Amino acid sequence: MLARVIRSMAKPARMQSSSLVKPVSLTKIPGRYLAHQEGLPKLPVPPLQQTLDRYMAVLQPIISQEELEHTKHLLDEFGKPGGVGERLQKGLERRARKTENWLSDWWLQTAYLEYRMPVVIHSSPGVVLPKLEFHDRQGQIRYAAKLIAGVLDFKTMIDNETLPVEYLGGKPLCMNQYYQILSSCRIPGPKRDTVINYTLSKSPPTHVTIVHNFQFFVLDVYNSDGSPLTVDQICTQLEKIWNSSLQTNKEPIGILTSQHRNTWGNAYNNLIKDKTNKESVKAIQKSIFTVCLDAPMPRVSDELYLSRVATQMLHGGGSRWNSGNRWFDKTLQFIIGEDGSCGVIYEHAPAEGPPIVALVDHVVEFMRSAETVRSPMIPLPMPKKLRFNITPEIKKDIEKAKQNLNIMVHDLDVKVTVFSHFGKNFPKSQRMSPDAFIQVALQLAYYRNYNRCCSTYESASLRMYRLGRTDTIRSASIDSQHFVQAMDDPSKSNQQKVDLLQKAIVAHRAYTNMAINGQAIDRHLLGLKMQAIEDLTSIPEIFMDTSFAVAMHFNLSTSQVPAKTDCVMCFGPVVPDGYGVCYNPMDEHINFAISAFNSCAETNAAHLSHLLEEALLDMRDVIIQLPKSKL
């Protein structure tokens, strides 16, 4: 998940209980969203020489001296007055003047819509929620009904434009992503995909899709007067769906969406040749969101439970289990298992994780406080089942998709852990940034495993800017390298180790500040490259250089997605020999989800997880062993 805010930075006023608005439009504040958006600054284009200098600095811990010298030479040539760099920079600055955000469209295309790998594992993140206290269909249906009501409550704030604006360091943030996550779906294309959002269409959707035993249903969730169905009403409707989809031998049509995007693009065109299929697909795409009522998964020990749920969220467990119980192109899918497993999978193109977990936090809070309104039982029509005509060709596509998906499922190695020794309160008590503390620990864990530093990606929010998405914090720095090398060096004193740790943490926080203020290097370099492509000039040598390839090979792809709910987001690695690491730092514990590929002999999620735990504990120990006056 290369593209990946700042819930903790943005004091989430919306999460206070008063934020649960009534499902009526009395509070509508028309035009509020646009007025807010227009007040946001535009993403700056950083100065060229600044980026080139910083690029050289980030290469230091990951590139050999010899390669560095070669790269320095290329960068000097690129950046010289009147050179290629200057020309591209001017082009970028022109683009920045003419567009709302010089980066957002390029980013959407290159990071998502033109990315051809399956969205499953390679792009779509999952969210693992704590195990629910039910073990049967009754509990599953009741929970699903409340959850649907909770999401509709959140939707009211979006529709009414009353969603409280988030702030970061006193600055308001772009709220656009919240308006992209409902009633939205990715659509495959043979070369590039598109995302369609029905929120502003002439007839915005009033239904959600429910999928059970691979069968899709349209569930209307609003009454004719525009009020949402009550929890009881939704329950009744879900019962009807459940009872009419008891057979499990149906074709898992949704599994098609797990394919490589070109393959799926072709299969899609074939699928929608049939009018009934086209209408059914459109009903899924247009729905507000999808709820997947999953069959029970194989039981595992308590220790492995969260890791198993992570796989259920990321891929559904394979064609024998729940992978056919999805439409992976759908932006938002809530997953509720009959066995109490629960979570979310979302298609990444329209939004980053933080708005998704903000929605999850709201729903969880809503469900806690929701009173059961006993509604007059006006009979509601049977939810419509979506029909698919399966031709032999479609059947063949489904079989191919099953095979590919099962290979991907076997290849994914996920470990979810709860680090329970301390949470973000410990680094805070030491006047250290918790995020930087965790990132430095990750550097230490990796170094201990591989005896080298690697190119590391951490998502940084650009939402202080209009339509801002993310940039990259490069967590492997010269300071983190000095610390990880010193930590296990017996010739170094505790004081020296702590001094180096503090320096590494300060450097990380400084990079974070630079990134969230639009001054990091990765998106700027991408912009310069895209500008060269647009100008139809040859790609500058700095982008063909070995150093560039190494810098872009993120063995550690990481992200903090903080939530109030005791959950954790998870995603796959972005390179074959890498790790995906996502974490939710709570006050007294930290939830981690680490992924790797089984096909890579050098990676192992559980082992890195173990090393990370040791690194966090060792870092705490060197700090607390020091007399307070020496800190």
Q: Which residues bind ligand COA (CB under 6 A)?
A: 1, 4-6, 8-9, 125, 352-354, 424, 428, 431-435, 459-461, 470, 473, 512, 516, 559-561
Q: Does 560 count as an annotated binding residue? A: yes
Q: Does 143 count as an annotated binding residue? A: no
Least distance (Å) from ligand COA to the CB of residue 473? 6
Which of 215, 402, 416 lies closest to 326, judged by CA? 215
d(CA 525, CA 511): 16
d(CA 535, CA 231): 56
Least distance (Å) from ligand COA to the CB of residue 7? 8
* Contact (Cβ atoms closer than 8 angstroms) between residue 8 and residue 480: no
Strand partners, 334: 291, 344
Exposure letters 261-279 (e unless 16+ CB within 10 A, then b): bebbbbbbebbbebeebee
H helix or E strand, kind and range, residue 558: strand 556-560
Q: Does 459 count as an annotated binding residue? A: yes
* Contact (Cβ atoms closer than 8 angstroms) between residue 598 and residue 618: no
Q: Which residue out of 348, 362, 508, 524 is catalytically annotated? A: 348
Active-site annotation holds for 410: no
d(CA 159, CA 418): 36
Identity at 35, one-letter amino acid code? A
d(CA 150, CA 320): 31
Q: Choose between 278 and 428: whose C-beta lies nearer to ligand COA.
A: 428
Which of 478, 454, 458, 581 lies closest to 520, judged by CA? 458
Least distance (Å) from ligand COA to the CB of residue 560? 4
Q: Choose between 6 and 20: whose C-beta lies nearer to ligand COA.
A: 6
Q: Does 461 count as an annotated binding residue? A: yes
Give the full edge-to-edge strand order of the sheet including 470-474.
412-419, 590-597, 579-585, 556-560, 456-461, 470-474
Q: Does 18 count as an annotated binding residue? A: no
Residue found under tokens 């805010």: 5
Q: Choose between 75 and 182: whose C-beta lies nearer to ligand COA.
A: 182
* Contact (Cβ atoms closer than 8 angstroms) between residue 591 and residue 583: yes
- Angle at Cα 588 formed by Cα 587 and Cα 592, nearest 5°? 90
Least distance (Å) from ligand COA to the CB of residue 353? 3
Q: Does 432 count as an annotated binding residue? A: yes
Residue 561: count other Cβ atoms within 10 Å of its Cβ.
Answer: 27
Least distance (Å) from ligand COA to the CB of residue 95? 24
Q: Choose between 169 and 576: whose C-beta lies nearer to ligand COA.
A: 169
Q: Choose between 323 and 512: whose C-beta lies nearer to ligand COA.
A: 512
Q: Choose between 174 and 238: whose C-beta lies nearer to ligand COA.
A: 174
Q: Does 431 count as an annotated binding residue? A: yes
Least distance (Å) from ligand COA to the CB of residue 580? 11
H helix or E strand, kind and range, residue 302: helix 302-314
Q: What tokens does 610 get? A: 């173990």
* Contact (Cβ atoms closer than 8 angstroms) between residue 494 and residue 625: yes
Least distance (Å) from ligand COA to the CB of residue 345? 13
Per DSSP, the three-state class of 119 is coil
Compute CA distances 240 → 146, 178, 385, 499, whole Å: 16, 32, 11, 64
H helix or E strand, kind and range, residue 431: none
Q: Choose between 104 and 461: whose C-beta lies nearer to ligand COA.
A: 461
d(CA 63, CA 65): 7
Q: At what angle do helices 137-159 and 231-243 cross, to 10 degrees?
A: 130
Q: Does 329 count as an annotated binding residue? A: no
Least distance (Å) from ligand COA to the CB of residue 421? 17
Q: Minimal CB distance to ligand COA: which residue?
A: 4
Q: Does 470 count as an annotated binding residue? A: yes
Q: Does 429 count as an annotated binding residue? A: yes
Q: What tokens does 145 get? A: 């009904």
For 628, which DSSP code? G
Q: Choose between 6 and 208: whose C-beta lies nearer to ligand COA.
A: 6
Known binding-site residues equal 424, 428-435, 457, 459, 461, 470, 509, 560
Binding site for CoA: what residues are annotated?
424, 428-435, 461, 509, 560
Q: Which residues are catalytic?
A: 348
Return binding residues for (R)-carnitine.
457, 459, 470
